[in-house]
Amino acid sequence: MDYSLFQAFKEDFNKNIADTLLDIYVFETDKHDWQKVIDYLQRETKHDFIFFVNHEHHVLPSRVEEVFDVASNHSVFLCVDKGLLNLHCYFFTFEQIEFDLDPRIITDENRFKHLLDFIHGIGRILQKKVVVTPESNEIVHYLSYDPTIGNDIWSLPNWGSM
């Protein structure tokens, strides 16, 4: 792990956007992509998760269609890595996958590495680009990970590509 990259992350986020959430997006998705993410979380990953329906713990359905059916009538969200990352996914639409991230939780190099592992894992299983953006801003990409080339491109002030 490049410690200077973690330090740059902390300095920029603490100085520039400390009180805002970030979004982790995968665009141009469909129900098959969502199913791959559900399968990845349930079977292939070290990332723990909790599924909530109306703020109560429930078993995450194995089929993504069931998740969206429940979401059409109830408040649902998936919390990934509550102890390390506390990512939240709300199942808004099949057309994009979105996780909310509070950058203040990335307090050490281990959490930063865990975040990158999550982003890389999602990118690899979908074979699609994963981007980190300001909340609800799909245009500005702070980080872009493309699994076809296998590297991260950072674009914050003072960062450049790493």
Q: Is pLDDT above 60 for 160?
A: no
**Residue 91 token pair:** 């199942």
Residue-wise pLDDT for 114-147, tens only, equals 999 999 999 999 999 999 988 888 888 888 899 9
pLDDT at 12 over 70: no
- Label residue 96 by pLDDT band (50, 70, 90): very high
DSSP 105: G
Read off the pTM.
0.87
Nearest one of 117, 112, 95 to 25, comparing CA atoms: 95
Q: How confident is the model at residue 17 (pLDDT cuts 50, 70, 90)?
A: low
Q: In this predicted structure, what is the pLDDT of residue 162?
A: 37
pLDDT at 145: 92
157 CB burial (10 A radius; 0-12, 13-18, 19+) = exposed
What token pair was written down for 63?
A: 């089929």
Average pLDDT over residues 64-71: 97
For all residues of the chain together, what is the average pLDDT?
87
Mean pLDDT of 68-82: 96
